[in-house]
A and B are shown apart, each in its own frame.
Chain A
């Protein structure tokens, strides 16, 4: 399923116009992105939680050329599935 399918299904189930459903889905995604960007945790009971982890810079190697390169410090988001989600996919 992609974002446009989600918007279509959601607009029908929630009885929202396509335009409002799209605005709503984008608002959810933007709000979660914004929170993570501010270093906040996103915790949705039953669905899961997102946190940002910071990785220190390290010396890496280009596997193709063997060249040594410095990989800069980076931040990446992590998702941990919630109990209800795990229960439902294992049902």
Chain B
């Protein structure tokens, strides 16, 4: 089972008593906003959850695992997430 935007929108509809269509638009906007913030500011800190950041990766040599052919992996940016202590504690308490 996985939770997707559909389940999140249902929850907004139930808990905030908002129109279903509007709830789903808000969920879309929320993740668009997170993406915008990462693009523009490079990081987002959500207390109690974790921190997203954009990291720069240098060009490096790798190989295609299928063909074993060596190739150069170009310079790129990646998005990483580091969990907060609170989230780790939640996941490890039962």
Contacts and interface: CB of A to CB of B under 8 A. Distances in A.
Interface in A1-43: 1-3, 6, 9-10, 13-14, 16, 20, 23-25, 27-29, 31-33, 35-37, 40-43
Interface residues of A, number: 48
A75 to B, nearest CB: 4
Contacts, number: 130
A71 interface: no
Interface residues of B, number: 45
20 contacts: A2-B47, A3-B47, A6-B37, A13-B33, A20-B16, A29-B49, A31-B3, A31-B8, A35-B2, A36-B91, A40-B2, A42-B4, A46-B35, A52-B91, A74-B92, A76-B91, A84-B35, A88-B38, A90-B76, A90-B77
